Amino acid sequence: MAEEVELKLALPQELRRALSRHPLLVAAQEMPARRLVNVYFDTPQQELRARGVALRLRRQAGHWLQTVKCAGLAAGGLSARPEWEQPYGGRFDFDAIDDRRLARWLARRHLEGRLQPVFSTVFRRRTWRIEREHGAALLAMFDEGLVRCGERTSPIRELELELVEGEPAELFAVASELAATLPLKPEPLSKAQRGYLLASGPRAPQRARTTAPLVDAHTGLAEALRRILRCLLAELQANEAGAAEGTDPEYVHRMRVALRRLRGLFRIFAPLLPAAGAAGLLPRLRELARTLGTARDWDILSEEILAPVLAGFPADRRLADLGRVAAERRSLAHAAVAHALADPGYGRLLIDLGALACDRSLDALASSPDALPEFAGRSLERLRRRTLARAKRADVADAASLHRLRIAIKRWRYAIEFFAPLQPGHAVQARLRRLTRLQRDLGALHDLVNAATPLELCAGEDPALREAVALAGGWHGPHHRRILQRLPKAIDKLVSSERG
């Protein structure tokens, strides 16, 4: 078994020549270009795909080569996957697979006679070998061609950095050098994943919410940080295409949550991180969060503040005009999101986040006397005390104090989710339910209060639009009062549940 460790980077078509002229590649050893033809196989039920297995035949030097790849580490364009290659003799042969669990699974599926072509890829590959310091080496492979499934096609245009010798951090170091002058962005999808998406037919981007990272009492501090960071990076990128498309507000919301959780992670691990690590990333994360936050505010204003009022008064022209003005501003905010995600700076941010997860200086944390349970316990207790202090000082007549409590609850909740496997299950879930309920009410109140400024911005000095704003405020007034009435009891309940 071999392990393929590579970093995939997307590159705009018009810059392929600029790539080959980059000093890093000019100084590297270029190998002869090749045309590669690949056919991917699966059962009619796509059982291999469901298992995270890719089965490929590649035409090479007049012969076919069989390759089996398994799901492995995949985040931020970086993948580390086991693979098995062997000549293809006219029938699929899995005897060389030395992973017992996979070998048993393949044997039980009785795949002989059930495998069929699903899609193919055809592309031209240019390859450079890059020698690095301390004996490290990697291949830079630029692929350009097509994924094909029947009459449907999808372009391939990506740079793969494949590790030959050394550590994965070298891949990000090279990517960072290239991205300093080229608009590269980590590509989270493999060619096989894109082929399966093509085979599934046209569809909207899939919303993605990543499951909780797997940590336990035996996970080292460095490994826990890496797992959570990669998990959040995958969540961020999984919602990127939908957020850029701008037709479904949920993608922007989930990208924003991923960014908040990333910032929360860096706050928790701040004392242990390399000095330049999180410090250089946090301002860039905040800037992206502001752009997404503006779009999210307009989404809430349109869908949760104005939409129910418009539904209640469908013939009111003042409300309809106000809704149109808000829709125009919402469209501009989403255009700003698409621009930010297409900006080269976003690609560099993703590369730097991936590089931090591979930073070997984090390994020093493994020898720290702080075992993960103790570190998590101290972090959670600090956030708990801060939240309870905010709760005790909260005043329903003071919107700023309620906002501070809402932020404290979010940060505590994210930390609980990070370290959930280290805590008693029932107690954790009960605490999360209490926090989520209170956060929901505080969030709804914040949205209602926060809507005043953009509504006034939409109305300007127009008397009819200002009347529409007043009508919307009156519509939501009872809901606003109900939240204010139940908040004191909910806050007291949180404080009392945490006593002792």
Widest pairwise Cα distance in the chain:
80
> Does the structure show a pLDDT above 80 at 217?
yes
CATH code of the domain covering residue 43: 2.40.320.10
Q: Is 218 a domain residue?
A: no
Q: Is 231 a domain residue?
A: no
- Dihedral angle over CA of 287, 289, 291, 296, nearest 10: -170
85, 8: one domain: yes
Q: 139 by DSSP, 3-state: which?
A: strand
- Count of Cβ atoms closer than 10 Å to residue 43 Cβ: 18
Specify the number of domains making up the chain: 2
Q: Is 226 a domain residue?
A: no
Question: How far is Cα 331 from Cα 323, in angstroms, rounded to an integer?
Answer: 12
- Yes or no: say if 41 and 195 are a contact pair by the CB < 8 Å rule: no
What pLDDT score does 191 carry?
A: 94
Following DSSP, what letter does each residue of 268-287 receive, concatenated?
HHGGGS-HHHHHHHHHHHHH
pLDDT band at 60 (very low <50, low <70, confident <90, very high): confident
What pLDDT score does 325 carry?
A: 98
pLDDT more than 90, % of the chain? 77
Domain stop point among 149, 173, 203? 203
Tens digits of per-residue pLDDT, 146-160? 999 999 999 999 999
Of the ranges 54-63, 185-194, 283-292, which is most confident? 283-292
257, 175: one domain: no
Name which of 250, 222, 221 is nearest 371 in CA terms: 221
- The H-assigned helical ranges of 180-214 are 191-199
193, 101: one domain: yes
258, 338: one domain: yes
CATH code of the domain covering residue 391: 1.40.20.10
Q: Which two tokens stand for residue 71?
A: 């799901």
What pLDDT score does 295 carry?
A: 98
Name which of 173, 292, 188, 171 is nearest 233 in CA terms: 188
Tell me the pTM: 0.92
pLDDT band at 369 (very low <50, low <70, confident <90, very high): low
* Alpha-carbon distances of 405 from 171, 254, 439, 457, rounded to whole Å: 42, 21, 9, 27
* Alpha-carbon distances of 393 from 15, 121, 200, 457, rounded to whole Å: 56, 61, 54, 32
Angle between the N-to-C axes of helices 452-459 and 425-450, in degrees from 0 to 180, rounded to the nearest 10: 30
274, 183: one domain: no
What pLDDT score does 388 carry?
A: 97
What pLDDT score does 483 carry?
A: 95
* Alpha-carbon distances of 417 from 149, 261, 305, 371, rounded to whole Å: 40, 10, 30, 18
Considering the chain, what is the average pLDDT of its residues? 92
Q: Is 220 a domain residue?
A: no
Tens digits of per-residue pLDDT, 413-461? 999 999 988 887 788 889 999 999 999 999 999 999 999 999 999 999 9
322, 443: one domain: yes
194, 305: one domain: no
Region 215-238: mean pLDDT is 90
Residue 125: domain span: 2-203
Name which of 492, 479, 490, 416 is nearest 451 in CA terms: 479
Minimum mean pLDDT range among 21-25, 111-115, 362-366, 381-385: 362-366
> Which conformational region is residue 457 in: left (phi greater than 0), alpha (psi within -120 to 50 degrees), or beta?
alpha
Q: Is 215 a domain residue?
A: no
Tens digits of per-residue pLDDT, 305-364? 999 999 999 999 999 999 999 999 999 999 999 999 999 999 999 999 999 999 888 887
Q: Is 235 a domain residue?
A: no
What pLDDT score does 378 carry?
A: 93
Region 169-194: mean pLDDT is 94
Q: Is 238 a domain residue?
A: no
157, 269: one domain: no
175, 312: one domain: no
What pLDDT score does 79 carry?
A: 87
Name which of 185, 7, 173, 167 is nearest 81 in CA terms: 7
Region 284-309: mean pLDDT is 97
Q: Which two tokens stand for residue 16?
A: 């392929």
281, 182: one domain: no
197, 262: one domain: no
Region 174-197: mean pLDDT is 94
Q: Is 290 a domain residue?
A: yes
Query: Under 8 Å CB-to-CB from 410, ≥6 apart: which residues?
Result: 260, 264, 439
Q: Is 177 exposed, middle or buried (0-12, 13-18, 19+ CB in 10 A)?
A: middle
Question: How far is Cα 66 from Cα 40, in angstroms, rounded to an integer?
Answer: 10
- Count of Cβ atoms closer than 10 Å to residue 22 Cβ: 18
pLDDT band at 42 (very low <50, low <70, confident <90, very high): very high
454, 317: one domain: yes
Please give the single-letter amino acid code of residue 341: L
Region 6-28: mean pLDDT is 92
* Residue 97 C-beta-side C-alpha neighbours within 13 Å: 21
123-158 burial by CB neighbour count: b if 16+ within 10 A, else e? bebbbbebeeeeebebbbbbbbbebbbeeeeeebbb
Domain stop point among 171, 203, 235? 203
Domain stop point among 203, 226, 259? 203
